[in-house]
Structure 1
Amino acid sequence: MGLLVVPPFDEEPWPTLGPQVCDLLEERCVHGPGDLRGKPYQLDEEKRALIYRWYEVYPKDHPRAGKRRFKRVGLSVRKGTAKTELAAAVAFAELHPEGPVRTDGWRKKGGVWVPVGRPVTDPYIPMVAYTEEQTEDLAYAALLVMVTEGEDADLFDAGLERIMRAGGDGKAVALAAAPDSRDGARTTFQHFDETHRMVSPRLRAAHQTMLMNIPKRPLADPWSLESTTTYTPGEGSVAEGTHEYAELVDEGKAKDRTLFFFHREATPRPDEDLDDFEQARSAVIEASGPSIATWPDFEGQVEAIISLRNQPDTDKAYWERVWLNRRRQSGQQAFDATRWKQLARPDIVIPDGELITIGFDGAQFHDATGLIATDVMTGFQWPLGIWECPPDAKDWECPEDEVSAALEEAMDRWEVWRVYADPPYWDGMINHWRGKYGAKRVIEWWTNRPLQMAHSLRAYKGAMTTGAVTNNGHEVFTRHIGNACKHTLKQLDERGQPLWVIRKERPDSPKKIDGAMAGDLSWEARCDAIAAGAKKRRRSKVIVMR
């Protein structure tokens, strides 16, 4: 089965408040919006097991006896498994004035010391969604139903933006789009919903800030829960960062005793044919897990899911991501972001004096600008600078002096064969560069020529496929590569395949691609340098930093 559980299951189970939390939910909570709305909440075996793990505490003889084992929890499962409702149920227990969610002593049961639960004092529970509209549909909305339509409705004072204990000592709040740093300042529990959609710099920064707020109330023993369907590689989402970090912990490349991560997917198989009904059915069942497979008319749901894949306009990669929970490149993405990450060589530094090429692309206002270098000999790329408009900035202008300074430093350090620069919006600065460094070294390379651009991008993508191009793993550059979307042209190449150029997913998208465009121009210049025989005769070795 395609499972990643970090840390793995223990031979000897830890003490846990999980049974008491589950009892509270099934005795006092109701289901949220949907077919079971208002009915007594029921946990399947997998969700019960997850709650048991999430509420593990240190044993009685430990110096930290009774304290939570995990401070950050990640859950990644396929669409339609009620993960959001589970998160809302946990928030219900954390907010409930009788919720047994923190340790308040020990008692013996069957000869074993087990923790005794108590409620949190003055809980503060931010529930973060990526848009204001999402708060109406996801975890906060489910919690609102749970506290208003269950038998404990008199214990809460609920509204569309906040749910308080009736006594006023604690609340859950809906936070949309981009909470600021103070929103999590006194958190006891916090939930991030559908983190694969949290891709904007502001949301990712807010996520980091709110994680940093967790240690502020040590007596409350606070923690975070992130729930999501898996992510599209290369978008730089919160889900992507959490999953990759969990993999590092699992591989022993990072140490974190406070993380619990659970991911289930349909195991990819080399000879798999999802056009075959039985193979597709097996994949959906595996991605669902054994507990979901016991749901009423599960076979009917499986058939409906497979039917969606067979629709002529279905994005097959998207279908695999949401229903099989596999990390798949979007059909819109121009470049394979996973492959790009595989080509990262962060330990390489190109020595001064080496022959390089540079690509420049960007906008002066409200977007981003990239200046990317390529080592001619090795094909190694790295950013000389990427400047992004800060989120919600109204009057931002790319700092020309910083861009020019970065280029000047590159000219001083390396032997720059050519700079290919896209002129729109930067005519004055590029003309200044041409006057300073020479018109034969700084070339206007217009990206608004569809056929030339398409052939250039095809070569760049091919270099990624073969491994001819490598990179330094720069986070922003990598994100721009993953953000670039295909725009198919009417023209075909010599093999009869549609040519394409790159664009943002939509004109007003916050997902920048200028670094990717600059990377392509830098690669184009490198190809031209090799064709012109511009390699240096004598060459020092590449320095590898250990």
Structure 2
Amino acid sequence: MQLAAVSEDQTRNAWAPLLEMLREGPAVDEYPGLEPLDTFVSLPKGRIEFVTSAATSREGNRPVFCVLDQTEEWRPSNGGVKLAATLRRNLGKTNGSSIESPNAYLPGEGSVAEDSAEYWKRIVEGRAKDDGLLYDHREADAGTDMANRESLLAGLRYVYGDSADVAGGWVDLERIAAEVWDPATHPQDARRFYLNQITHASDSWISQPEWAGVAAPAKVVGPGEEIVLGFDGSRRRSKGVTDATALVGCRVSDGHLFAIGVWEQPDGPFGEDWQVPTLEVLSTIEDAFKTYRVVGMYADPAKWESHIAALEAKYGRRLKVKATLQHPMEWWMTGGRSNLIVRALEKFRSSVVDGELTHDGSSVLTRHVLNARRRESRSGIQIAKEHPDSPRKIDAAIAAVLAWQCRVDALAKGLGKKKSAKAGRVVVLR
């Protein structure tokens, strides 16, 4: 059995109490042959040892159980990602298992903890071929107000659970609250280390607490309701991971966003030579027009010009919200429209921060929104992937922005207003 970390000091945070429990507890008397030494523990069969990324090689070991401690710090730069891969390969030889014990990771660092969370998301979305991962993350509610004592203590009580002093544990929550309120504590660090919230990278467009704060998965958009659509499409790339294609709806009356369809290249060999299923995408759009009362659709037509033109010819007359008279659906997110793009992005972000919109909690929509990074331009803030070849896509976020812009324009035309219960037919008598 191996206890692993990226540095010896980090490993000893768990190694020292392990030795103390084995030496001072009943284990020595109950297990003949158990010998807790400073650098390893001798067992009747086998041993417990600690390992770090500084080790020359762990390849070929045959552990049956590994503890990967503080994997939010296991990054490519310090050898942590390579160490995790080696340990897991070794465990596969013995049908062994491992457990990670991280704090909340920082998105965008490429840590082992972040990779494990992404793997869990793929399982939830049905995109993983194997589901052999138990993921247990205890995070304070996104609405936790760190400036409000009652709200903060409630969040801390939930996160610390049985270890909180109010539950008979050893953690003084008032002392933790004092650390949160210390002016030297950065708010993002407070959320990450004390509330266990996965916040955001330094250049994130929207933070995880902001987005989670407007989630409303209980809301349902029913057939026949008045909605608008946002669409962002892609085609096969010659290299790298193909961008996703996304269709997002937004109810006009209350601004509730919901993912209708997101098509992404599968991971690994299953994604080789993958292309966006064009006919399936178009069929989903057709179904949306049949199911809901679609009053507008904004689409970035890049690489989908002919398909968008065909949709305009078929549905353009019935749309009450139009991008232009000539092209009612075309809403370019590229080209010489930077001022319009910046304003649309700012409207969307402000609506999230101010709680003016809600979303269905879709894991794929959430992932794409949180993947978006801020990028400065002459016109203002725009968004992009962390780097051009990144496999972390943002296409569903773009589709959501387009749907929201279409909804804003729909409201400007007087759509989405609830009809008065008293309204009825007018009869004129002569």
**In structure 2, how many angstroms separate the alpha carbons of the residues matched to 1:395 and 1:429?**
22
**In structure 2, how many angstroms separate the alpha carbons of the residues matched to 1:178 and 1:389?**
28
Distance 1:534 1:192, change over 3 A: same
Aligned residues: 338
Tell me the residue number matched to 1:268: 180
**In structure 2, how many angstroms separate the alpha carbons of the residues matched to 1:367 and 1:538?**
41
Tell me the residue number matched to 2:279: 401
Deviation for aligned residue 1:525: 0.2
Tell me the residue number matched to 1:411: 289
SS at match of 1:385: strand
Alignment equivalent of 2:381, drawn from 489, 500, 506: 500
2:53 aligned with 1:141:
yes
The question of whether the paired residues in 1 share the 8 Å contact of 2:251 and 2:257 is answered with yes
Match runs of 1:203-214 below 5 Å: 204-205=119-120, 212=132
SS at match of 1:524: helix
Tell me the residue number matched to 2:363: 475
Please tell me the residue identity of whatever aligns with 1:187. Answer: G
**In structure 1, how many angstroms separate the alpha carbons of the residues matched to 2:259 and 2:122?**
26
**In structure 2, how many angstroms separate the alpha carbons of the residues matched to 1:421 and 1:383?**
15
The question of whether the paired residues in 1 share the 8 Å contact of 2:159 and 2:196 is answered with no
Alignment equivalent of 2:394, drawn from 513, 524, 536: 513
Tell me the residue number matched to 1:221: none
SS at match of 1:160: coil
Please tell me the residue identity of whatever aligns with 2:95. Answer: R
Deviation for aligned residue 1:85: 4.8
Deviation for aligned residue 1:321: 7.1
2:333 aligned with 1:447:
yes
Deviation for aligned residue 1:103: 6.9
**In structure 1, how many angstroms separate the alpha carbons of the residues matched to 2:58 and 2:302?**
45
Q: Deviations over 1:244-300 (max 9, x none)?
A: 9x958949xxxxxxxxxx9x787433xx6x3xxxxx2xx5xxxxxxxxxxxxxxxxx
**In structure 2, how many angstroms separate the alpha carbons of the residues matched to 1:516 and 1:267?**
35
SS at match of 2:223: coil
The question of whether the paired residues in 2 share the 8 Å contact of 1:389 and 1:397 is answered with yes
Please tell me the residue identity of whatever aligns with 1:425. Answer: K
**In structure 1, how many angstroms separate the alpha carbons of the residues matched to 2:191 and 2:160?**
23
2:415 aligned with 1:524:
no
Tell me the residue number matched to 1:357: 228
Identity of aligned residues (%): 24
Q: Unpaired segments of 5 or more residues in structure 2?
A: 32-40, 67-81, 106-110, 143-154, 163-172, 237-241, 320-327, 422-430
**In structure 2, how many angstroms separate the alpha carbons of the residues matched to 1:124 and 1:186?**
17
2:203 aligned with 1:332:
yes
Tell me the residue number matched to 2:298: 420
The question of whether the paired residues in 1 share the 8 Å contact of 2:374 and 2:384 is answered with yes
The question of whether the paired residues in 2 share the 8 Å contact of 1:381 and 1:472 is answered with yes
**In structure 1, how many angstroms separate the alpha carbons of the residues matched to 2:116 and 2:306?**
30
Deviation for aligned residue 1:429: 2.3
**In structure 2, how many angstroms separate the alpha carbons of the residues matched to 1:369 and 1:118?**
55
Tell me the residue number matched to 1:533: 414
Deviation for aligned residue 1:124: 11
Alignment equivalent of 1:486, drawn from 374, 377, 398: 374
Tell me the residue number matched to 2:345: 457
SS at match of 1:515: helix
Distance 1:193 1:336, change over 3 A: closer
SS at match of 2:377: strand
Distance 1:318 1:339, change over 3 A: closer
SS at match of 2:217: coil
Match runs of 1:67-146 below 5 Å: 82-86=9-13, 89=15, 119=43, 140-141=52-53, 144=55
The question of whether the paired residues in 2 share the 8 Å contact of 1:456 and 1:524 is answered with yes
Distance 1:471 1:205, change over 3 A: closer
Q: Deviations over 1:67-120 (max 9, x none)?
A: xxxxxxxxxxxxxxx445545x49x98xxxx9999979859xxxxxxxxx9948
The question of whether the paired residues in 1 share the 8 Å contact of 2:410 and 2:416 is answered with yes
**In structure 2, how many angstroms separate the alpha carbons of the residues matched to 1:250 and 1:426?**
51
Deviation for aligned residue 1:191: 3.8
**In structure 2, how many angstroms separate the alpha carbons of the residues matched to 1:101 and 1:390?**
50
Distance 1:170 1:425, change over 3 A: same
The question of whether the paired residues in 2 share the 8 Å contact of 1:181 and 1:206 is answered with no
Deviation for aligned residue 1:329: 3.9
TM-score (norm 1): 0.51
